[in-house]
Amino acid sequence: MQTATHTITYRRVVDLSHEVHPGNPVWPGDPGIRFETVAAIAGGGYYLRRFSMGEHSGTHLSSPSAFYPDGDGPESLPAAALVTPGVVIDVSNQAAANPDYALSLDDLAAWERRNGTIPAGALALLYTGWQERWPHPERFINADANGIMHTPGFGPDAAARLLHDRAAAGLGTDAPGIDPGTDQTLSISRLALAQPRLVLECVNNLHQLPPTGATIITGRLKLAGGSGSPAAVLALTP
Domain coordinates of the chain in residue numbers? 12-27+55-237
Answer yes or no: is pLDDT of 1 > 60. Answer: no
pLDDT for the residue numbered 150:
98
Summarised one tens digit per residue, pLDDT across range 106-118 is 999 999 999 999 9
CA-nearest of 133, 122, 93 to 200 is: 122
Residue 228 backbone dihedrals phi, psi, to 5 degrees: 175, -170
Task: Provide mean pLDDT across the span 73-85.
Answer: 96
pLDDT band at 3 (very low <50, low <70, confident <90, very high): low
DSSP assignment of the chain equals -PPP------SEEEE--PPP-TTS---TTSPPPEEEEEE-HHHHSS-EEEEE--TTSSSEEE-GGGT-TT---GGGS-GGGGEEEEEEEE-HHHHHH-TT-EE-HHHHHHHHHHH-SPPTT-EEEEE-SGGGGTTSHHHHH-B-TTS-B---EE-HHHHHIIIIIS--SEEEESSS-SS-TT-TT-HHHHHHHHTT-EEEES---GGGS-SS-EEEEEEE---TT-SEEEEEEEEEE-
Q: Is 121 left (phi over 0), alpha (psi -120 to 50) or beta?
A: left
pLDDT for the residue numbered 33:
97
Percent of the chain at pLDDT above 90? 95
**Chain-wide mean pLDDT for the chain?**
96
pLDDT for the residue numbered 117:
98
Summarised one tens digit per residue, pLDDT across range 189-225 is 999 999 999 999 999 999 999 999 999 999 999 999 9
Distance CA 165, CA 32 (A): 38
Summarised one tens digit per residue, pLDDT across range 163-194 is 999 999 999 999 999 999 999 999 999 999 99
CATH T-level topology, domain 12-27+55-237? Glucose Oxidase; domain 1 (3.50.30)
pLDDT for the residue numbered 103:
98
pLDDT band at 6 (very low <50, low <70, confident <90, very high): confident
pLDDT band at 44 (very low <50, low <70, confident <90, very high): confident
Q: Say what the pTM is.
A: 0.96
pLDDT for the residue numbered 132:
98
Answer yes or no: is pLDDT of 97 > 70. Answer: yes
* Under 8 Å between Cβ of 228 and 63: yes
pLDDT for the residue numbered 2:
56
pLDDT for the residue numbered 7:
86
Summarised one tens digit per residue, pLDDT across range 129-154 is 999 999 999 999 999 999 999 999 99
